[in-house]
Amino acid sequence: MLEQETRVHPYMANSTDVARRRMLDVIGISDVTELFEQIPSDHLSSEEIQLEPALRSEIALRRHLMTLLGQNDTCEENLSFLGAGCWQHHVPAICDEVWARSEFLTSVWGTPSSDLGRNQAWFEFASQLGELLRMDFVGLPVYSWGAAAGHAFRMAARLTGRNRVLAPRAMDPERLAVIRTYCGSPELKGHIELVGVNHDPATGRYDMGDLRSKLTDETAAVYLETPSYLGIVETNAAEIASLARAHGAETIVGVDPISLGVLAAPGDYGTDIAVGTTQPLGVHMNCGGGVGGFIATRDEEKYAKQYPTLQVSICDTVVPGERGFGLTLFAQSSYGSREFGNDWTGNSVYLWAIANAAYMSLMGPAGFFDVGSTILRLSHYAATKIAELSGVRVDWDSGFFKEFVVNFDGTDKTVNEINEALRQRRIFGGKDLSESHVELGQSALFCVTEIHSADDIDHLVDTLKEVTGR
Amino acid sequence: MSQPLKNYHSAVWDEPVVMELGAPGRRGILFPDTEERISDTVGEAQDLLAEEIRRQSPIGLPEMSEPEVLRHYLHLSQQTLGMMGISLFGTCTMKYNPRINEVMTTLPHISEIHPHQNTATLQGVLEVIHRLDLVLRELSGMDRFVFQAGGGADASYLHAVVTRAYFESRGELDQRTEVITTAQAHPCNSATAAAAGFSVITLPLEEDGYPSTDALRATVSDRTASLMVNNPDDMGIYNPHIKEWVDVIHEAGGLCFYDHANFNGVMSRIRAAELGFDACMFMLHKTFGGPKAGGGPAVGAYGCIAELERFLPGPLVVPDGDTFRLDEGGPDSGGRVREFWGNVPLIVKSYSWSRAMGAAGIREAADLSMLANNYMEKKLLEIPGITKSLPHLMAHRMEMTRYSLVELTNETGVTAVDVQNRMVDFGVDAFWLSHEPWIVPEPFTPEAGEMWSLEDIDYWIDVLAHVCSEAREQPELVKTAPHNQAIHQINDNYLDDPDRWATTWRAYQRKQKA
């Protein structure tokens, strides 16, 4: 048995001899091991666990963590142009103040009355996202954009009784890997077949001919992204939705909500199910740990009944005029119906939904217009300037948002070599596409957001000129 | 009653919905003016988009100043009880979330790093991930952990996905279509197995509080892909035949997954791999000191034996001499369940927690959670109207016990939900009732864990005893609770009515008019 001086711990009030004695006495036993009587002795580990020595003081713990984490080099100390599913946007200070509040941080479930504030914040997340999307039914967030798309494909398959989904061939490989998982295996139930649709090499947009040839009366859904992984804004979204509808297929649209101050709302061009990311809305990158996803539809029963998520509805209380918030359609979730529910739900990224809500309130309509306009101009400025470099091409030099593809074939250098040279000069270059998108040659996906200045971009361009040796 | 109950009342801000706040023209955030060389080069923003895809419709968001937004959400936080009071929410292992970890993970060293950075710039976070992997290997006997799954349910899904890949590699997937679980396993086990395409067989409980091994034998066949179970279950009952179960499944060629959601009481005493399991899952947001956060960001840390490693999703953190690199995962990988590496800040928090505790601290936490639960049980069973689930089972329960209020309900008409609603009037967070199916009528499931002091636990018990007395003396007071909260009982009888539900303000306004 451990000595008291090594047992008392700041995280555990009862780690004193007095408390332990009192509990033993009340229970009527002399040793804690008696409590493990249900466990056969041959289940108990014969060897004690061996861990590194405890760092019981916060002083020692902090020093250790700072030493470890200090090895990281951040996007604040460097100039970063990485995006590709996780983006460096400005996170307003009050977003961090709000989510980090102990009440939100530690809440578990509560009742509609005792955790009113959190439930209201969730409703405000859904309500504000619904305004950006112009869609009336919004679920609580899911793990990521890929998870949201995967669930949406499954919703569409259940709605249509079909099992084929058309999706962009040039999709984010990271997101596609998640979607493939959600689509299952042909040997088992509920498998969804993914059919890749080409992009038009001239524009980067969906190849409408290829889409038409693959869209049939067996298609459950057409999935498009705008902006796409490669940054391209899809100008034919309304036509694609109308083609899908003509074949009885659902239209699923993936969007980055930070674009919706300047880009048309998915609800305005025939989208049936909108999905996308929540990370740009006031959540730090967190090494990819900031990602989150959403699912939204029109407020129609047939769609609502397919949601796998939990969702909060505004409602009234027993006191006239008082408002509250409760869960709607809980019974169709896995909590309510186990394997008979829609897919599954569980802990997700609900705390980030509160950061998202605060972010959208801060932004308002003018903030979203401004951030969208700023990103459009800065990213196009960067593309224009980079394209002026010798040996460097930007084939899709307009009609993109935030991200754009830069080709280095004419420099006789690989993206890897260029990025390595940039890194020596404290710049994180764009995501290397040369392995995931071989047809694009030595290309990289550059991301420019509102955090960048003209000086930042000029510095990138100057440094690219230096490292490409042109 | 051993102490007077607190004269608690929640903050009441009567806070409007954010959509009703603000005034036209206000701004909560500004962006830098566009520099001249930018506008000279690219012109107006709107001209950079084709007309047909420009936003035409208004954006119906509130227009608020920065302090208005801050104060609104602070008001909402104050109307959230969370762990400001006492929360003994069973199955979720409410424990202290050390604030040093919040401070450390909000530094740019974690918050402002990108997963696609060159790994040379990410050595710190890679080392933390590897170190936590080693801690969990030591606690479980497994050979490798991954942290990609965004919660316990997602880790359960990951197991189903790994199972798929395992049998696909053996050419048996068209035959191995069944997953076996129990009625007391978490609903996510059966739901994720079904979502991955498996048929689910749920074994019912028998006399001893768990399904019989005979029932398992009768179910197992060459169609069995995996067993997915917790142990102990949420009633605090440990299945002593679990090793035999694992043998039965293995003999049939299936895999065994240990849902270690209820790990707190057996930490440092039981290793999943030593019981024969092929894979297990730990909840970092519960057992390993991370915050619950109202439902994530969470991590279901999934560990497996060496034979299953090649089916794990990438990227895997691999030590390489003195440094660490990322392995994207091979062709046999079952596929990713979420983009990137997982909720990285929570991985750091959990590693930090494990270091602050050390082996002795983890053993102490397990012991204290067992002691606290059995201490509570003694005291709770002295309260008239409270009975224990499966009362004929005399052995001490594990780190939580499920109880029933059915006697109280029969006597007074006051239900477990009513009692839950009334207890929050004393600053006690709602207790957990039960997962589906409700095997125990009018259930509730407290779990004291290692954080709460004896005074906290005693207060919790006193509040429950008081509410049970109220149920007899003034049942209406309990049934109409809460009375000291931010709002009163919600009217939830139309929440599933398509004409009235409203998950957004847009829908609400439309339906109000109709």
Tell me the per-residue pLDDT of A214-265, one tens digit each, with 9 for 90 and over.
Answer: 999 999 999 999 999 999 999 999 999 999 999 999 999 999 999 999 999 9
Query: Residue A2 has what pLDDT?
Result: 45
As given in the structure block, the two tokens for residue A353 are 């939904």
B182, closest residue in chain A (CA to CA): A338
CA distances (Å), origin B353, targets A65, A108, B143, B280, B434: 11, 19, 21, 20, 28
In B, which residues are within 8 Å of A254 by CB distance? none
Predicted confidence (pLDDT) at residue A6 exceeds the cutoff of 70: no
Query: Residue A253 has what pLDDT?
Result: 98
**Nearest of A355, A300, A369 to residue A132 by alpha carbon:** A369
In B, which residues are within 8 Å of A96 by CB distance? 106
Task: Give the helix/strand (H/E) hosting A208.
Answer: helix A208-214
Q: d(Cα A418, Cα A389) in Å, to the nearest integer?
A: 14
Query: Residue A340 has what pLDDT?
Result: 94
Query: Residue A243 has what pLDDT?
Result: 98
- CB atoms A49 and B489 under 8 Å: no
Name the 3-class secondary structure at A138.
Answer: strand
Strands (E), B386-495: 387-388, 403-404, 443-444
Unique residue bearing structure tokens 């006191």: A319
One-letter identity of residue A127: S
CA angle B102, A326, B283 (to 5 degrees): 35
In this complex, the residue of B429, B435, B503 whose CB is nearest that of residue A312 is B503
Name the 3-class secondary structure at A187.
Answer: coil
- CB atoms A364 and B61 under 8 Å: yes
Reported as a pLDDT band with limits 50, 70 and 90, residue A1 is very low
Render pLDDT for A311-348 as a digit per residue (tens, 0 to 9).
999 999 999 999 999 999 999 999 999 999 999 999 99
In A, which residues are within 8 Å of B293 by CB distance? 104-107, 350-351
- CB atoms B55 and A299 under 8 Å: no
Query: Residue B4 has what pLDDT?
Result: 87
In A33-164, where does DSSP find H-type helix? 58-69, 93-99, 102-106, 116-133, 145-160
As given in the structure block, the two tokens for residue A316 are 């009234």
Tell me, rounded to whole angstroms, the distance of Cα A150 from its chain centroid.
13
CB B432 within 8 A of CB B90: yes
Query: Residue A56 has what pLDDT?
Result: 96
In A, which residues are within 8 Å of B69 by CB distance? 94, 358, 361-362
CB B384 within 8 A of CB A77: no
End-to-end CA distance of chain B: 52
Reported as a pLDDT band with limits 50, 70 and 90, residue A3 is very low
- CB atoms A264 and B19 under 8 Å: no
CA distances (Å), origin A443, targets A385, A386, A419: 16, 13, 11
Unique residue bearing structure tokens 């699912």: A295
Predicted confidence (pLDDT) at residue A4 exceeds the cutoff of 50: no
In B170-303, where does DSSP find H-type helix? 187-195, 213-219, 242-251
Q: d(Cα A297, Cα A306) in Å, to the nearest integer?
A: 10
Q: d(Cα B453, Cα B361) in Å, to the nearest integer?
A: 16
The string over A382-420, giving b where at least 16 C-beta atoms fall within 10 Å of a residue's C-beta and e elsewhere, is bbbbbbebeebbbebebbbbbbbbbbbeebebbbeebbe
CB A267 within 8 A of CB A133: yes
CA distance A448 to chain B (A): 13
Tell me, rounded to whole angstroms, the distance of Cα A440 from its chain centroid.
26
CA distance B124 to chain A (A): 5
Q: What are phi and psi of A138, to 5 degrees?
A: -130, 130
In this complex, the residue of A103, A123, A384 whose CB is nearest that of residue B41 is A384
In this complex, the residue of A104, A262, A334 whose CB is nearest that of residue B187 is A334
In B, which residues are within 8 Å of A105 by CB distance? 82, 97, 102, 291, 293
- For β-strands A164-168 and A193-197, DSSP reports them as parallel
CA distances (Å), origin A249, targets A76, A176, A289: 45, 20, 33
Task: Give the helix/strand (H/E) hosting A303.
Answer: helix A301-304
CA distance A469 to chain B (A): 22
B365, closest residue in chain A (CA to CA): A12
DSSP A10: T
A340, closest residue in chain B (CA to CA): B191
Unique residue bearing structure tokens 């090895």: A71
Strands (E), B287-353: 300-304, 316-320, 323-327
- CB atoms B49 and A233 under 8 Å: yes
Q: Which residues of chain B have pLDDT under 70?
A: 1-2
Kindly indicate whether the ipTM for this predicted assembly is greater than 0.95, answering yes or no.
yes
CA angle A335, A339, A340 (to 5 degrees): 90
- CB atoms A72 and B113 under 8 Å: yes
- For β-strands B323-327 and B316-320, DSSP reports them as antiparallel
In this complex, the residue of B41, B114, B199 whose CB is nearest that of residue A285 is B114
Query: Residue B63 has what pLDDT?
Result: 98
According to DSSP, the residues that pair with A400 across neighbouring strands are A232
In B, which residues are within 8 Å of A304 by CB distance? 498, 501
As given in the structure block, the two tokens for residue A199 are 């992009």
Render pLDDT for A25-40 as a digit per residue (tens, 0 to 9).
999 999 999 999 999 9
In this complex, the residue of A12, A78, A102 whose CB is nearest that of residue B450 is A12
Q: Is the peptide bond before A308 cis (omega within 30 degrees of 0)?
A: no
In B, which residues are within 8 Å of A291 by CB distance? 338-340
For all residues of chain A together, what is the average pLDDT? Answer: 97
Greatest Cα-to-Cα distance within chain A, rounded to the nearest angstrom? 83
Predicted confidence (pLDDT) at residue A196 exceeds the cutoff of 50: yes
In this complex, the residue of B110, B173, B292 whose CB is nearest that of residue A188 is B173
Tell me, rounded to whole angstroms, the distance of Cα B45 from its chain centroid.
44
CB B269 within 8 A of CB A45: yes
Predicted confidence (pLDDT) at residue A469 exceeds the cutoff of 90: no
In this prediction, residues A449-455 reach a mean pLDDT of 98
Q: d(Cα B369, Cα A197) in Å, to the nearest integer?
A: 55
Q: What are phi and psi of A111, to 5 degrees?
A: -120, 170
- CB atoms A287 and B115 under 8 Å: yes
- Reported residue count of chain A is 470
- CB atoms A190 and B424 under 8 Å: no
Helix, strand, coil fractions of chain A, as percent rounded to 5:
45, 15, 40
- For β-strands A250-255 and A273-277, DSSP reports them as parallel
In B, which residues are within 8 Å of A189 by CB distance? 177, 197-199
Render pLDDT for A146-190 as a digit per residue (tens, 0 to 9).
999 999 999 999 999 999 999 999 999 999 999 999 999 999 999
Residues 6+ apart with CB under 8 A from A313: A123, A325, A326, A327, A328, B495, B501, B502, B503
Strands (E), B381-455: 387-388, 403-404, 443-444
Predicted confidence (pLDDT) at residue A96 exceeds the cutoff of 70: yes
Predicted confidence (pLDDT) at residue A5 exceeds the cutoff of 60: no
Question: CB count, 10 Å around CB of A77?
Answer: 13
Q: d(Cα B88, Cα B293) in Å, to the nearest integer?
A: 15
Query: Residue B3 has what pLDDT?
Result: 74
Name the 3-class secondary structure at A201.
Answer: coil
B372, closest residue in chain A (CA to CA): A23
- Reported residue count of chain B is 514
In this prediction, residues A31-58 reach a mean pLDDT of 97
Q: Mutation test of the interface with chain A: which of B103, B105, B113, choosing the one with the most A Cβ atoms within 10 A?
A: B113
Q: B136: phi > 0 → left, psi -120 to 50 → alpha, else beta; which? A: alpha
For all residues of chain B together, what is the average pLDDT? Answer: 97
